[in-house]
Amino acid sequence: MPNHYAASLLRNLRNRILIDAVIVDMLRMDIRPDETQLRFRCPLCGHFHTATNSKTNLARCFDCEKNFNPIDLVIAVTHCSFVDAVERLKKRSHWMG
């Protein structure tokens, strides 16, 4: 079933809700805060060989060789649908940088 969200809304959720805030404050993922990089437990492989990129607003797992934008990450961690992930992120729009 196609979704009817405006492309601009989806772009804003992907690009402007900071990936670090999604990891730490929204999803409360396991992290290793003592590193210079924000390393989070990859929802796919469970390892911490990960990093976030503030320029691209993506979270990457180097073992899985996979990038997660905020929508991807909410789906991977909570196993929710695309629509649910968008609705959850919309509630955090006040975080947009």
Q: How far is the CB of 59 from Zn ion (least distance, A)?
A: 10
Is position 17 an interface residue for Zn ion (rule: CB under 5 A)?
Answer: no
Is position 63 an interface residue for Zn ion (rule: CB under 5 A)?
Answer: yes
Contact residues for 59 (Cβ-Cβ < 8 A; gap 6+): 19, 23, 40, 50, 51, 52, 53, 67, 68, 73
Which one of 10, 29, 51, 64 is in contact with Zn ion (CB under 5 A)?
64
Return the DSSP state at 95: G
Which one of 9, 45, 83, 96 is in contact with Zn ion (CB under 5 A)?
45
Residue numbers at the binding site for Zn ion (CB under 5 A): 42, 44-45, 61, 63-64
